[in-house]
């Protein structure tokens, strides 16, 4: 009997990450649910997966910390024996997004630490420990294409992820590991909705030609496509999942 595939999903306590973890579990993956601060919510994701007949474990790790990331990979190997899939969903986007000239050093450092260094930390571990034929999906944003004022540092952090991913895919030549990126548009998550007025949310929902906000499940389905056999010839690419907004 073929062993189940094993996936690490970072930032999986809620929103898009939780939707991805649950969808992967429904698809038969064993899942490590990572979180940084929402323990009860991460536990609930694991409980839901187990209640539905899946297998999952929970692990607290700040992806910006290399030692904690290494321990997270240890936990996946100890729990399930291997690592086949890495989903780098963990990220931060401040609720208040000033113009570049008004961004303070603390905000800049926080965005870069999680969005860029956090992705780098997990990719470095994956390069050393992932199974032959593994799949990695990193997260960018459609802001890279939209270039909306106020998103300069956040957009820059995600543009770095896109570039790092494309190069990393080439560096893994010969191992059959595919590296791709999902770049969502506006998605109705707590991270996105936090700090926005109803009027702003309504305006953003009308931006895509499909005239709605994305849902976490929309992104989860795209991620599962990129880790599945149907996308076996897709590598080093960025897939914008945004309803056509850009």
Using CA atoms, how far apart are residues 87 and 79, in angstroms rounded to an integer?
18
Q: Which helix (H) or strand (E) covers residue 88, if one does?
A: strand 85-88
Beta-carbon-side half-sphere exposure of residue 145 (alpha carbons within 13 Å): 16
Residues shown for the chain: 246
pLDDT of residue 1: 64
Q: What is the DSSP letter of 113?
A: I
Tell me: the pLDDT tens digits for 114-163?
999 999 999 999 999 999 999 999 999 999 999 999 999 999 999 999 99
Tell me: the pLDDT tens digits for 6-63?
999 999 999 999 999 999 999 999 999 999 998 999 999 999 999 999 999 999 999 9
Topology annotation, domain 6-240: Rossmann fold (3.40.50)
Q: How does the average pLDDT of the chain come out, rounded?
A: 96
Q: Is the pTM of this model over 0.75?
A: yes
Using CA atoms, how far apart are residues 143 and 105, in angstroms rounded to an integer?
21
Contacts 24+ apart (CB under 8 A), 91-96: 91/11, 91/115, 91/118, 91/139, 91/158, 91/191, 92/191, 93/154, 93/191, 93/192, 94/154, 95/194, 95/195, 95/196, 96/195
For the chain, the maximum distance between any two Cα atoms, rounded to a whole number of angstroms, is 58
Domain map of the chain by residue range? 6-240
Adjacent-strand bridge partners of 226: none
List the catalytic residues.
Answer: 154
């Amino acid at each position: 009997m073929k062993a189940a595939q094993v996936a690490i999903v970072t930032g999986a306590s809620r929103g898009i990450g939780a939707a991805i973890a649950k969808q992967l579990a429904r698809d038969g993956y064993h899942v490590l649910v990572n979180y940084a601060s929402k323990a009860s919510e991460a536990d609930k994701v694991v409980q839901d997966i187990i209640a539905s007949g899946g297998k999952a474990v929970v692990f607290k790790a700040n992806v910006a910390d290399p030692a904690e990331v290494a321990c997270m990979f240890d936990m996946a190997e100890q729990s399930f024996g291997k690592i086949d899939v890495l989903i780098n969903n963990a990220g931060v986007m401040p609720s208040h997004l000033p113009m570049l000239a008004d961004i303070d050093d603390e905000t800049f450092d926080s965005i870069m630490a999680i969005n860029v260094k956090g992705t780098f930390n997990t990719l470095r571990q994956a390069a050393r420990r992932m199974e032959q034929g593994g799949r990695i999906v990193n997260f960018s944003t459609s802001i890279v294409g939209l270039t909306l004022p106020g998103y300069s540092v956040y957009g820059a952090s995600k543009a770095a992820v896109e570039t790092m991913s494309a190069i990393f895919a080439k560096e893994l030549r010969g191992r059959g590991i595919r590296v791709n990126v999902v770049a969502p548009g506006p998605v109705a998550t707590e991270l996105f909705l936090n700090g926005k007025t109803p009027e702003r949310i309504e305006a953003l929902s009308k931006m895509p030609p499909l005239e709605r906000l994305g849902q976490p499940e929309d992104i989860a389905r795209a991620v599962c496509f990129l880790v599945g056999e149907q996308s076996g010839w897709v590598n080093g690419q960025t897939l914008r999942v945004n309803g056509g907004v850009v």
